Amino acid sequence: MSVTDAVGTTGTQGGRTADARTAAGAATAPAADGCAPLAPRAGLLPALGAVYRAQLSRARVARIPLLFVATFQSIGIMVLMRGVVDGGEEARAVVAGSSVLVVAFVALNLLAQYFGQLRASGGLDYYATLPVPPASVVLGTAAAYASFTAPGTVVTAVVGSVLFGLPLTHLWVLLAVIPLAGAALAGLGAALGLLAPRQELATLLGQLGMSAALLLGVLPAERLPEVVRWARDLLPSTYGVEAFAETYRARPDWVSVVVDLGVCAGVGVLSLAVATWAYRQAAVR
């Protein structure tokens, strides 16, 4: 091989190497605007499932003691009311209200505190960097907290039914009451936590919401002043209480039950939409 041929071959190989390096560099180079290409955003349902599983796993570890507190609190309230309420309409209201109170304690109070802490600590910045829709973060977290209330609610309902001598026939209605009332209260709790300017205020609002669920949900409506009854109608959990209490009758009015649960569902959709909007506003600040 002549010197000319060798140089030509070397030049050709060098050109090919340079072309390969140029192609590799183009594949890994940042975009024209200086930002590295991002992964495609995950769909709503896959992202929702991932957030739900992660939050449910976290809740099992961190929230089990608080679930016991919520359950024992509701059972304690029923024991105290047993000395005041004999039975009938008032007994149904006490048992139903105490059962839904477990949902309010976890889905409203704890979720308001969680999102308030997440906003104050900068945890929303982490979620903002993930390629997931904002709705999946709010819905997944709210669903995990609402699901976490199921054992305590069932235990409270069973203990209350036995304590007041109420039938256990229609406890299956809790399969609808827990998710629907839980969605309404979880959306409300998330919105309170995300809209509160300070973490302490989010905690205070969560406590006040749970106190309202206690006073307006557990106490029989017939014993409340008229003005307080109007405030009771504004609290979404009371519709879950009314639906559950109705099933303790000998002949429940199932139309009334469906209507009350429908109100819970409507408020749940609205409150979760507000919470999703509040999440977007808090994440961009």
Domain ranges of the chain: 44-283
The pLDDT value recorded for residue 63 is 63
For the chain, how big is the Rg over CA atoms in Å? Answer: 27
Judge contact between 213 and 235, C-beta under 8 A. Answer: yes
- Helices and strands counted in the chain (H then E): 13, 0
pTM of the model: 0.79
Contacts of residue 188, Cβ cutoff 8 Å, sequence gap at least 6:
108, 209, 236, 271, 275
Q: Output b/e per residue, 206-240; b: 16+ Cβ within 10 A.
A: beebbebbbebbbbbbeeeeeeeeeebeebbbbbb
Q: How far is CA 270 from CA 69, 203, 235, 256, in A?
A: 29, 22, 13, 21
Q: Residues 210, 216, 221, CA angle at the centre, nearest 5°?
A: 165
Where is 218: in which H helix or E strand? helix 199-218
Sort 57 into a burial class: Cβ within 10 Å, 0-12 / 13-18 / 19+: exposed
Mean pLDDT for each 10-residue chunk of the chain (285 residues)? Answer: 40 40 40 49 76 77 74 92 82 93 89 89 78 83 82 93 92 93 90 91 92 87 83 89 93 95 94 90 73
